[in-house]
Amino acid sequence: MNHVDYLRISLIDRCNFRCQYCMPEGAELDYILKQQLLTDKELLTLIKEVFIPVGFTRFRLTGGEPLLRPHVVHLVEEIASLPQTQDLSMTTNGFLLAPIAQSLYDAGLRRINISLDSLEPDTFDQIIGNHGRGRWQQVWDSIQVAYNVGFDPLKLNVVVIPGVNDHEITNLAALTIDKQWHVRFIEFMPIGNAHLFSDRGWIPSQEIRQLIRERWGLTESQVRGNGPADVFKIPGAKGTLGFISQMSECFCDRCNRMRLSADGWLRPCLLNETGQIDFKTALRCGVSTASLQEQVRRLLAIKPEINFKQRDKGNTEGVYTRTMSQIGG
């Protein structure tokens, strides 16, 4: 088990897209009320007085869509300015990024992941939901802006959905050839989208790699990130290809992260809630940060026993119905 020093922080559960793998049509979404979200002050207190003292030094801001969070640039600046922060990154759908990309960079954000599940506007619209017609160009423009601002690495996340965007695998991989972009192919996961998952399954990373290998060849890259991706490279390419294989390969022994939801729940695993901690209630009831530190240490001690294969543990109803946006993936 890796040393756990990486915290994914969901700033908000809302999103301006409704991607079928994250917030599928027909799913009942019970959004968190504003007063149920961690405030900026509460979030910064947890980072400074709980997580950093127990060894967390790497932070990723997620959602929902994190750019919907008010004062997001201020939060980035506050976290980035902490001397213990070794790495700060963000995952976004990119739609709102272009106007504030420079401000985020100036505030201290250096690494960013942007979701780009298709290079075809119609397919992109199909994936993000019918309400999202015509949004591909704005996301593509944001990617160019982020690249020009200087985000490095600039990662593009692709969830491969059989029968929807799998025909674009080589076109997406080709984005890494001429620019220092890093495309990451992610296996489709059964989270809040069971009807899609049971019908289509997923494409194992090994098959995706083979398609790329047949076109250009493929070598292992010396570049390694903070997460579970296996990193490869097209020979001579400026960027890299990452493969996140949570369905076909178990990487729990390499997991170095925990997740903090927008309403303050600390969870040890994406799909296993064993030992989760309700920080928001604790803070608002006056529980000391020293006590919260001790709770995190206890959870860290049992994390090696908590894994994805035992998913749904800790869910008293026995059925995992929350969507990825509600988890804060």
What CATH number did the domain enclosing 29 receive?
Answer: 3.20.20.70
The torsion angles phi and psi of 200, rounded to 5 degrees, stand at -115, -20
Task: State the pLDDT at residue 314.
Answer: 42
Distances (CA, A) of 309 to 80, 219, 298: 34, 29, 21
Return the minimum-mean-pLDDT range out of 45-49, 57-61, 200-204, 229-233.
200-204
Answer whether residue 54 is part of any domain: yes
For residue 254, give the nearest of 280, 229, 231 by alpha carbon: 229
61: helix, strand or coil: strand
Q: Is 312 a domain residue? A: yes
> What is the reported pLDDT for 180?
94
Q: Which residues pair with 87 in a beta bridge?
A: 58
Within a domain: residue 21? Answer: yes
How many folded domains does the chain comprise? 1
Report if residue 1 sits inside a domain: no
Residues 6+ apart with CB under 8 A from 207: none
Is 320's pLDDT higher than 50?
A: no
Residue-number span of the structural domain to which 22 is assigned? 6-327
Residue 224 has pLDDT above 70, yes or no: no
Q: Is residue 205 part of a domain?
A: yes
Q: Give the pLDDT confidence of 165-198 residue by residue, as tens digits.
A: 999 999 999 999 999 999 999 987 665 545 554 4
pLDDT single digits (tens) 240-297: 999 988 776 766 777 888 999 999 999 988 767 777 999 999 999 999 999 999 999 9
Q: What is the pTM of this model?
A: 0.89
Percentage, residues of the chain above pLDDT 70: 81
Residue 4: per-residue pLDDT: 92
**pLDDT of amino acid 250:** 66
